[in-house]
Amino acid sequence: MRSDPLRIEGLTVSLGGRPVLDGIDLAVAPGETVGLIGPNGAGKTTLLRAVLGLVRPDGGTIRNDLGRPGYVPQKHEFTWDFPITVAGAVLNARTGTKWPLGPNREDREAAAEALDRVGLTDLAKRPVGELSGGQRQRVLVARALARRPNLLLLDEPFTGVDVPTQELLTGLLSRLAQEGTAVLMTTHDLAQARATCSRLCLLNRTVVADGPPEALTDPDLWLRAFGVAASGELKALLAGKAAA
C-alpha cells in the first residue's frame, strides 16, 4: 500500500472568528503535483499555513509522515532589502535554526545544489535586493529545495514572474515529481496549473472537486468554486485547449 506524505482529514479552520476552511479532506502522495484552485478568500493560503503548523485548526487532522516540508511563500513575504547575497539567503534556509554553530558541509552542498537547480549559481554573490522578480522567485524556491524536502508547498509560484522563470519552474516541478517529491501549490494561473499539476483541487472553503485536470470538465464545478460561469480562460481549460 502506497503511503501518503500528506493526509488531511476533516480540517476546519477559523480566523478571527470567521470560518475559512470547513471539512477539508485531501491527500498528496509521492510524485504527485496538486494545484489548489479557487478565488481570493477561498482558504488556499490558510490551508498551506495549517500544514506548516502556523495556523491552529478548530478540528480535523493533518498527518505528514515525512518531516518538515519545504515552503515557497509569496514574494512579498521575504525582506528583499536585507543585506544578504543570493547564496547567503539560500544557505540561511538550512542554518537559521543552528545559530551560532553555522553551516556544515552538508548545508553548503545542499545550498549549492539548490542554486544549481534554479539556475542561480552564477548570481550566488549578488545581493538579493538587486534581483528581478523572476530571480527573486527562484531564490525562494532554492531556499525550499535546500532543505531537501519530500513535500514541497508553494504559494502562487507563477505570479509576477517572467516567461523563462515560468518555464524553469514548470520543468523543475516535473523533475521533482519524477524523483518522488510530493508538491502542493496554490495558483491563479489555470494554464500553468494544467501544464504542471497531475491533480487539481477546486477549493472554496471546502473541497468542491478533486481530480486530474482533464476530468474536471463540468462547468457546474467551476461555478461552485468561483461563483462565476465558465468563460474565458475557464472555457479554454474545460475544452482542454489551455496553453501548456
- The pLDDT of residue 241 is 45
- Does any domain span residue 75? no
Shared-domain flag, residues 206 and 221: yes
Shared-domain flag, residues 62 and 115: no
Do 237 and 209 meet the contact criterion of CB atoms below 8 Å apart?
no
Final residue of a domain: which of 148, 165, 181? 148
- Residue 220's domain comprises 1-69+150-244
- Does any domain span residue 97? yes
- The pLDDT of residue 217 is 82
Shared-domain flag, residues 107 and 195: no
Shared-domain flag, residues 61 and 175: yes
Output the DSSP codes for the chain: -PPPSEEEEEEEEEETTEEEEEEEEEEE-TT-EEEEE--TTSSHHHHHHHHHTSS--SEEEEEETT-SPEEE--GGGS-TTSS-BHHHHHHHHHHTTTTTS---HHHHHHHHHHHHHTT-GGGTTSBGGG--HHHHHHHHHHHHHTT--SEEEEESTTTT--HHHHHHHHHHHHHHHHTT-EEEEE-S-HHHHHHH-SEEEEEESEEEEEE-GGG---HHHHHHHHSS-S-THHHHHHTT-S--
Final residue of a domain: which of 122, 148, 174? 148
- Give me the CATH number covering residue 232: 3.40.50.300
Query: Based on the number of CB atoms within 10 Å of its own CB, is 231 exposed (0-12), middle (13-18) or buried (19 or more)?
Result: exposed
Query: Based on the number of CB atoms within 10 Å of its own CB, is 95 exposed (0-12), middle (13-18) or buried (19 or more)?
Result: middle
Q: Could you identify the residue written with the cell 494544467? A: 194
Shared-domain flag, residues 117 and 6: no
- Does any domain span residue 124? yes
pLDDT tens string, the chain, 244 residues long: the values are 456 789 999 999 999 989 999 999 999 999 999 999 999 999 999 999 999 999 999 999 999 987 789 999 998 889 999 999 999 999 999 886 555 667 889 999 999 999 999 999 999 999 999 999 999 999 999 999 999 999 999 999 998 889 999 999 999 999 999 999 999 999 988 888 888 999 999 999 999 999 999 898 888 888 888 876 555 556 655 555 444 3
Shared-domain flag, residues 182 and 235: yes
Q: How many structural domains are present in the chain?
A: 2
Count of other CB atoms within 10 angstroms of residue 53: 12
